[in-house]
């Protein structure tokens, strides 16, 4: 029994971008359960359900203490009927029966294994499952045609499913910096993604590249990629050119969350330090790396857009649209009321335009 005094009633804002979410999670038992159901929904192309579970998980991540009783959740936003049922199950029984049965299900296991291949999304995995393919062994013997990304993904499956450490991210950062310096002096490299938020591991390493002189960044990516390729640093790369200028629907339209920067999805060949060498004596490992080039005029928006978390970004755009009548993208911020673009050279300025308290990267772990 808990006395009234022990029941802390939390007051929490409803948008994740109004909250400070550090990596210090006091409710991982609950957020793990909700995140797994979110992931399962996403793997089944149920995006609405996925977002609902992500929002509920993010809300729980932002609570200052561990929740031990349902009564503590009274009045909190973002918790739908389904999420509350899952939370109740975990609080009362230690586990959620829905989570447990999902984890055990043949379909979930297969979706996890197959989408664990770089280049394989939920739709491809679903098609393979319908054709009776549930694991890598069956895929290898199926005669399915794989594209270049998927072939690489399958070849480096174990490495790419091994979390990347901060030390590895820094080592790759030095290589990228060297490449960029060599092809265009004065260019800048910024580490973005989860590592910028202070995470100790990640599924990849994200970098944003720019040059202080507008226009100098044009044509930079192919040169950087050529430099890296010629020195044997790339096991795979696919570069997509900038389509921002020729896009007709306007830069800040939130219709597509995908930005249009020139980007490179790659797999790096990272030489291991002596202490990381394994029994197999393989002296290198494969690491997923994303490179993005932005003109300096859009850099603040690009840094904000590529720092994440994905839910934090989604909530920023929702806040901008619903509360401020503005459209935010990784390129720009457009004020639909004033009918004009709002220029910014720092993330702080963008939060200020949006009427939000500044949240530093380490507190965007929603």
Binding site for Mn ion (CB under 5 A): 24, 193-194, 202, 204, 206, 290
Query: Between residue 175 and residue 194, which ones bind ligand CTP under the rule CB under 6 A?
Result: 193-194
Q: Is 118 exposed, middle or buried (0-12, 13-18, 19+ CB in 10 A)?
A: buried
Q: How far is the CB of 50 from ligand CTP (least distance, A)?
A: 14
Q: How far is the CB of 355 from Mn ion (least distance, A)?
A: 27
- Which of 54, 61, 199, 331 lies at the binding interface for ligand CTP (CB under 6 A)? 199
Query: Which residue lies nearer to Mn ion by CB, 155 or 290?
Result: 290
Partner that binds at residue 24, options Mn ion, ligand CTP, none, CB closer than 5 to 8 Å by kind: Mn ion
Are 308 and 362 a contacting pair, CB within 8 Å? Answer: no
Query: Which residue lies nearer to ligand CTP by CB, 153 or 193?
Result: 193
Q: How far is the CB of 164 from ligand CTP (least distance, A)?
A: 8
Bridging pattern class, strands 284-293 and 326-328: unpaired
Q: Is 258 in the site for ligand CTP (CB under 6 A)?
A: yes
Query: Which residue lies nearer to ligand CTP by CB, 114 or 194?
Result: 194
Query: Between residue 54 and residue 113, which ones bind ligand CTP under the rule CB under 6 A?
Result: none
Q: How far is the CB of 307 from ligand CTP (least distance, A)?
A: 6
Query: Rounded to the nearest 5°, which phi and psi values hold at 170?
Result: -65, -40
Q: Cα separation of 47 and 35, whole Å?
A: 13
Binding mask 307-326 for ligand CTP (x = CB under 6 A): -xxx--x-------------
Q: How far is the CB of 228 from ligand CTP (least distance, A)?
A: 19
Partner that binds at residue 159, options Mn ion, ligand CTP, none, CB closer than 5 to 8 Å by kind: none
Are 312 and 366 a contacting pair, CB within 8 Å? Answer: yes
Query: Rounded to the nearest 5°, which phi and psi values hold at 262?
Result: -65, 125
- For residue 237, the cross-strand partners are 266
Are 311 and 196 a contacting pair, CB within 8 Å? Answer: no
Q: Cα separation of 102 and 151, whole Å?
A: 29
Stretch that binds ligand CTP, among 11-19, 147-155, 196-204, 268-276 (CB under 6 A): 196-204
Q: Is 268 in the site for ligand CTP (CB under 6 A)?
A: no
Q: How far is the CB of 17 from ligand CTP (least distance, A)?
A: 12
Active site residues: 204, 206, 290
Q: Cα separation of 88 and 43, whole Å?
A: 24
Q: Cα separation of 191 and 303, whole Å?
A: 9
Query: Which residue lies nearer to ligand CTP by CB, 251 or 308?
Result: 308
Q: Cα separation of 60 and 125, whole Å?
A: 30
Q: Cα separation of 22 and 203, whole Å?
A: 19
Binding mask 204-223 for ligand CTP (x = CB under 6 A): x-x-----------------
Q: Is 203 in the site for ligand CTP (CB under 6 A)?
A: yes
> What letter does residue 117 receive in the DSSP assignment?
S
Q: 12-16 contacts: CB < 8 A, separation 24 or more?
A: 12/59, 12/62, 12/63, 12/76, 12/77, 13/77, 14/77, 14/78, 15/315, 15/318, 15/319, 15/323, 16/55, 16/58, 16/59, 16/62, 16/311, 16/312, 16/315, 16/366
Stretch that binds ligand CTP, among 61-69, 134-142, 149-157, 195-203 (CB under 6 A): 195-203
Q: How far is the CB of 156 from ligand CTP (least distance, A)?
A: 16
Q: Is 202 in the site for ligand CTP (CB under 6 A)?
A: yes
CA dihedral of 276, 280, 283, 286, whole degrees rounded to 10: -90
Partner that binds at residue 309, options ligand CTP, Mn ion, none, CB closer than 5 to 8 Å by kind: ligand CTP
Q: Is 168 in the site for ligand CTP (CB under 6 A)?
A: no
Q: Is 251 in the site for ligand CTP (CB under 6 A)?
A: no
- Taking CB positions, which residue lies at the least distance from Mn ion? 193
Q: Footprint of ligand CTP on this chain (CB under 6 A)?
A: 193-194, 199, 202-204, 206, 258-259, 305-306, 308-310, 313, 330
């Amino acid at each position: 029994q808990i006395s009234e005094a022990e029941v802390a009633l939390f007051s929490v804002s409803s948008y994740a971008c109004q909250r400070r979410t550090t990596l210090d999670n006091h409710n991982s038992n609950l957020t793990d359960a909700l995140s797994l159901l979110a992931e399962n929904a996403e793997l089944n192309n149920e995006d609405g359900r996925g977002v609902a579970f992500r929002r509920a998980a993010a809300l729980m991540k932002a609570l200052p203490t561990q929740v031990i009783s349902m009564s503590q959740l009274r009045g909190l936003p973002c918790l739908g009927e389904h999420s509350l049922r899952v939370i109740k199950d975990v609080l009362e029984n230690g586990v959620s029966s829905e989570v447990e049965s999902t984890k055990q299900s043949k379909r979930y296991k297969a979706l996890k294994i197959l989408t664990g291949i770089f280049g394989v999304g939920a739709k491809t995995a679903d098609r393979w499952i319908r054709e009776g393919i549930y694991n890598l062994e069956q895929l290898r013997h199926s005669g399915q045609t794989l594209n270049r990304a998927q072939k690489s993904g399958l070849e480096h499956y174990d490495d790419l499913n091994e979390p990347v450490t901060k030390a590895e991210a820094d080592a790759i950062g030095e290589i990228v910096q060297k490449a960029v310096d060599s092809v265009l002096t004065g260019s800048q490299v910024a580490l973005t993604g989860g590592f910028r938020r202070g995470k100790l591991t990640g599924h990849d390493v994200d970098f944003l590249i720019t040059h202080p002189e507008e226009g100098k960044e044009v044509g930079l990516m192919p040169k950087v990629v050529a430099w890296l390729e010629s020195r044997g640093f790339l096991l795979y790369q696919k570069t997509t050119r900038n389509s921002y200028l020729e896009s007709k629907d306007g830069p800040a339209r939130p219709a597509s969350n995908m930005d249009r920067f020139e980007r490179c999805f790659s797999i790096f060949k990272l030489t291991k330090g002596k202490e990381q060498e394994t029994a197999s004596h393989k002296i290198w490992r494969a690491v997923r790396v994303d490179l993005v080039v932005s003109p300096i005029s859009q850099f603040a928006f690009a840094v904000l857009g590529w720092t994440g978390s994905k839910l934090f970004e989604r909530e920023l755009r929702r806040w901008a649209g619903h509360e401020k009548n503005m459209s935010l993208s990784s390129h720009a911020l457009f004020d639909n009321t004033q009918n004009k673009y709002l220029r910014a050279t720092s993330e702080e300025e963008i939060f200020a335009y949006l009427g939000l308290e500044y949240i530093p990267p380490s507190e965007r772990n929603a």
